[in-house]
Amino acid sequence: MAALSTAASEDAERWAALAARDGRADGRFVYAVRTTGVYCRPSCPSRAARPENVTFHATCAEAEAAGFRPCRRCRPDEPGLAERRAEAVARACRLIDAAETMPPLADLARAAGLSAFHFHRVFKAATGVTPKAYAAARRAEALAVSLPKAASVTEALYEVGYGTASRFYADAAGRLGMAPAAYRKGGLGIRIRFGVGACSLGAILVAATEAGICAILLGDEPEPLVRDLQDRFPGAEIEGGDPKFEAWMARVIGLVEAPGTGLDLPLDIRGTAFQQRVWAALRAIPVGATATYADIARAIGAPTAMRAVAQACGANHLAVAIPCHRVVRSDGALSGYRWGVARKRALLTREAGG
């Protein structure tokens, strides 16, 4: 019965995409028409077929095995616009990753086969950041790995490709969440305020640096949450919050109790370039809605990276504020939530008005 329900829901989504000629569904499935013997993309502008003559297929190979041939108008067996753009962005990301310094925008655009203006717009739409910001995030990611092992900050910065110390220090604190020397020593000398309280989902820990809220952790007991924070910043000065912080904590608890209200507080979001792309996509999911891991992978221009998306969701330290609870499996089932499936279900029920 559950399998039938899932299949019916999938067919309903396909029919909706077909009726809207939704290009976002291209690559997810094709449809075939029995009377013409042709299969097409969902976005094909051809005349609409009668529903009783339409069958859906997950891939072109599946449609061809059933005896259908590709449409000459939409050419579903060739890379579509979305696929070509995704590959162009992926190719640019690989070039940035391999380069010691940020390649000129014109060179990246030329490699993608686009004008510089169009490439910049396509890259930002696919990744959520500009090429320059992506390169900076990747360098900061490499720096975060290199710092703890390097003999000095200077050695680490040159190792990851910073040409000058001044360029490095201009943006390093913002990327790392603290000064590089402090990061290298586990947050040594950094002041982190925190508080532990109770909410309807159990224990909650809220912590903040000078930049903003850096952790919202949920659990059954407060002690493991405090240990989690200490393990992340072993050298930091972690202390109880002052009255201002207590007001922040009350607002965070309010968000947990009513996730649809939003949180008007600064967030100190630190992660790899890929994680930040995933987390930006999570924050774009509307309240009351859900998305699959595959949906998020497509949204960030990495359609095959579902497993990496799931890992990025698991690395999220800002429960509810970065709503990884809105990500579900392709069959709609709830799983993989860092703070437990029961809490995930409760949050989604609240957002749905239940």
Question: Among all residues, which ones are annotated catalytic?
Answer: 40, 324
Distance between CA atoms of 139 and 132, rounded to whole angstroms? 11
- Closest residue by Cα to residue 270 from 217, 225, 320, 315: 315
DSSP state of 269: -
Burial class (CB in 10 A: 0-12, 13-18, 19+), 48: exposed
Both tokens of residue 272? 């790899």
Q: What is the CA radius of gyration of the chain?
A: 24
What residue type is 343 in one-letter code? R
**Counts of helices then strands in the chain (DSSP H, E):** 15, 10
Express the helix, strand and coil content of the chain in percent, nearest 5 each: 50, 15, 35
What residue type is 174 in one-letter code? G
Distance between CA atoms of 38 and 25, rounded to whole angstroms? 18
DSSP state of 238: E
Q: Three-state SS for 139?
A: helix
Q: Report the relative pairing of strands 291-292 and 327-328 from DSSP bridges.
A: parallel
Both tokens of residue 202? 């159990």
- 144 CB-near residues (< 8 Å, 6+ apart): 176, 183
Element (H, E) at 198: strand 191-199
What residue type is 236 in one-letter code? A
Q: Three-state SS for 328?
A: strand
- 125 CB-near residues (< 8 Å, 6+ apart): none
